[in-house]
Amino acid sequence: MATYFDHSMLRSFFKACGQTLLLLSIVCTLPVHAAEEVTGITPALGVESTENEGADDTVVSNGEVVEPAAVLPEADPPPIITGQSTNNAQIETTPTPQKDNDIRQRINGIFSEIEGLQAVNVSVTQGVVTLTGETPNEKKAQQAINLTNRLTDVVTVEDRIDRTLDVQDNVTTVYQGLMAQGKTLIKALPLLLVGMVIFALVTWLGSWLSNRKKMWQRLTPNPFVAELLSQTVKVIFIIFGLILALSLIGAETILGTLLGGAGVIGIAVGFAVKDTIENYIASLMLSIRQPFRARDHIVINGQEGIVVRLTSRATILMTLDGNQLRIPNAEVFKGTILNYTKNPERRFTFELGVDANDDPLAAIKVGIDAIHTLDFVLEEPKAIAVITNVGDSNIVLEFQVWVDQSQTDFSKARSIAIRETKHALENAGFTLPEPIYRLRFNSKLERAFEHMQSSSGSSSATSDMTITPTTPEIVAKNLGDGMSVDDKDKQQAKARAKHILQGHDAKEILDARPNDKLMEKVEQEIAESSDETDLLNSNSPQE
């Protein structure tokens, strides 16, 4: 027989020599009666048996027959088991060679039908499958192991497959896969076109229904709800068209993937646009509740103005200064709303003080009579006045007056009412005192001040100090004249005011009608076209 030498045979030779020397040393040390036990040790060393059969003296090692003249081959290294059998059945006690042969034939048949596994060799011993040979990559090797593990009689799988990682093999496999997918796509193009046409038609139908604004407005008087319904119908038709198209091409699983991804993205986007969503919901509630109308004079959390419009994001006001104010609807919905227009009757108050020596009830009557002479003051509810406080030098009276703010400027009316009440009290002899501080000096100190004043008057320098003696003689002289210095000053002030108010522009000062300029600006803002839909509707019920 011819003998072949290669690198593997040399490794087998050296390993066999080492095992033979170890075996001989054990045999020499054992007693004669234990020589029979050596046969039980040889399998553990990788040598199955050594027998002499007539003239044919051969050595069998790992299933390979070696001529006597040839060097004993080295035993293969212990197999590396990378996978565990998926079979949960118990291992048979007495396996049969026929079953091993069946397993080998079955696996070879499977591998012959799979691209990339034809070069894998299979050997089966005692139900243990050993896979050798080559695969292009790790993916194919794992496929071979997984397929082998699925057989019922396989105990375990030994992975000895060499991953070549050959560029040509791997590129060829990928190329063939892409070509197969391309051919499949080309075959499916007519079906894809039909699916796209169906999706486009259903989407167009949804858009057409969504744009029928008059129809939705007839269904619900609220413009915001009508717009919400139209957009919902549009989205439903888009989803329905997508389902039809995917069902036609047999890709319903893609829809589940899209919906799952949309759900995750929706959660993330929901946290990011939390304030926007809150404003949107608040807009819906405000459009349904309608707490105010356009042109209403309202106060929202201290922000005062006239309502221009309510959009899906903010409430737009025109402040009393003529500026545009946008308040987020979430703040409006949660805030405190004061509506002056809903009840046009409005009350203003002001305080005046009379001298402590005067009768406060008489002063109240004089003030109320003067207030009722004003045209803008309402007869019902009637204007009243009450005593609120007694101070050190005066008695404080509070007047409460009602006006119709739709016909009267609130600030002007209050200003005119204060003026008329003050003049009426003064003309009736009531004193409106200011805080008084009395300083008492003896006669020597008063003469010293008089001397200082006379000295400064004779020089070029001027002095702002005025000394009014309050001796009994001077007080008696003033009383004899019947008029004090303060009374003379008041008469001069009234005469000056009368002269000024006789001018042709005085009527505007005394006119309490509201200014039309602000309402003109509001009407201009309302009339201006805006991309945002006004959610305020006079036909909707107001809470």
Query: What is the pLDDT at residue 198?
Result: 87
Residue 40 pLDDT exceeds 50:
no
* Better pLDDT: 29 or 342: 342
Sign of CA dihedral 501, 505, 507, 513: negative
The strand pairing partners of 310, in sequence order, are: 315
Q: With a cut of 80, say whether residue 121 has pLDDT above it.
A: yes
**Which of 245-254, 333-342, 500-509, 520-529 comes out lowest in average pLDDT?**
500-509
**CB-based contacts of 152, cutoff 8 Å, min separation 6:** 87, 89
Predicted pLDDT of residue 211:
83
What pLDDT digit, counting tens, does each position of 131-180 carry?
Answer: 998 888 888 888 889 998 888 888 888 888 888 876 666 677 677 778 88
Type of residue numbered 153: D
Q: What's the Cα-to-Cα distance from 346 to each of 157, 321, 384, 400, rounded to whole Å?
A: 95, 21, 14, 10
Query: Going edge to edge, which strands form the sheet with 49-53?
Result: 49-53, 56-61, 64-66
Write down the pLDDT at residue 80. 46
DSSP 479-494: HHHT--HHHHHHHHHH
What pLDDT shows up at residue 243? 81
- Give me the pLDDT at residue 253, please: 67
pLDDT at 182: 82
Residue with tokens 């419009």: 309
Burial of 182 (0-12, 13-18, 19+ CB in 10 A): exposed
Strand pairing class (156-159; 128-135): parallel
As given in the structure block, the two tokens for residue 378 are 């309402």
Q: Note the pLDDT tens digit of each residue in 83-118.
A: 454 555 667 767 778 888 888 889 889 988 888 888
Look at residue 53 and tell me whether its pLDDT is greater than 50: no
E strand or H helix at 533: none
What pLDDT shows up at residue 369?
Answer: 94
**pLDDT digit string, tens, across residues 406-457:** 889 899 999 999 999 999 998 898 988 876 666 777 777 777 777 776 666 5
Mean pLDDT taken over the chain: 75
Tell me the one-letter amino acid at 519.
M
Distance CA 283, CA 286 (A): 5
Predicted confidence (pLDDT) at residue 79 exceeds the cutoff of 70: no
Under 8 Å between Cβ of 486 and 431: no
Q: How much is the pLDDT for 400?
A: 95
**Alpha carbons 365 and 535: distance in angstroms, whole number:** 50
Provide the pLDDT confidence category of residue 350 given band limits of 50, 70 and 90.
very high
Contact 113, 147 (CB under 8 A): no
Residue 207 has what pLDDT? 87
Cα–Cα distance list, 518 to 7, 324, 450 (Å): 105, 12, 59
Backbone conformation region of residue 360, classed left if phi is above 0, alpha if psi is from -120 to 50, else beta: alpha
Measured CA to CA, the distance from residue 250 to residue 378 in angstroms comes to 79
CA separation for the pair 203, 243 (Å, rounded): 12
Higher per-residue confidence, 163 vs 36:
163
Q: Is 287 exposed, middle or buried (0-12, 13-18, 19+ CB in 10 A)?
A: buried
Instruction: Give the Å distances, CA to CA, from 11 to 49, 73, 196, 484.
Output: 20, 7, 67, 139
Strands 297-300 and 384-390: unpaired
| Residue matched to tokens 């803002």 | 525
Give the pLDDT band of residue 210 (cuts 50, 70, 90).
confident
Question: Do the Cβ atoms of 318 and 305 come closer than 8 Å?
Answer: yes
Average pLDDT over residues 350-370: 93
| Residue 425 backbone class (left: φ over 0; alpha: ψ -120 to 50; beta: rest) | alpha
For tokens 């004779």, name the residue: 458
pLDDT of 373 above 50? yes
In whole angstroms, give the CA distance from residue 389 to residue 120: 110
Q: Select from 73, 39, 67, 64 the least CA-distant residue to 55.
A: 67
| H/E element, 231 | helix 223-248
Residues 496-520 have a mean pLDDT of 75
**Crossing angle for the helix pair 252-272 and 223-248, to the nearest 10 degrees:** 150
Per-residue pLDDT band at 518 (split at 50, 70, 90): confident
Q: What is the pTM of this model?
A: 0.50
Query: Is 370's pLDDT higher than 80?
Result: yes
At 75, list the tokens: 């035993």
Q: Is the confidence at residue 461, as pLDDT, over 50?
A: no
Is the predicted pLDDT of residue 502 greater than 60, yes or no?
A: yes
Percent of the chain topping pLDDT 90: 17
Lowest mean pLDDT among 9-18, 126-135, 350-359, 528-537: 9-18
Over residues 244-294, the pLDDT tens digits come to 887 777 766 676 777 677 777 777 766 666 777 788 888 888 888 888 989
Question: pLDDT at residue 5 above 70?
Answer: no
Nearest to 309 by CA among 476, 47, 533: 533
Higher-scoring residue by pLDDT: 398, 245: 398
Q: Cα(306)–Cα(300) distance, rounded to whole angstroms?
A: 11
Structure tokens, 279: 């404003």
Handedness of CA 237, 243, 244, 245 (dihedral sign): positive
Tell me which H or E stretch contains 103: helix 97-112
Confidence of residue 67 (pLDDT cuts 50, 70, 90): very low
The interaxial angle of helices 274-289 and 252-272, nearest 10 deg, is 90
> Measured between alpha carbons, how far is 410 from 349 in angstroms, rounded to an integer?
11
Pairwise pLDDT comparison (473 vs 246), residue with the higher score: 246
- Which candidate, 381, 372, 489, 486, places its Cα nearest to that of 420? 372
Quick one: which of 158, 127, 133 has its CA closest to 145? 158
Q: 19-36: string of b/e by CB count within 10 Å (b at 16+)?
A: beeebeeeeeeeeeeeee
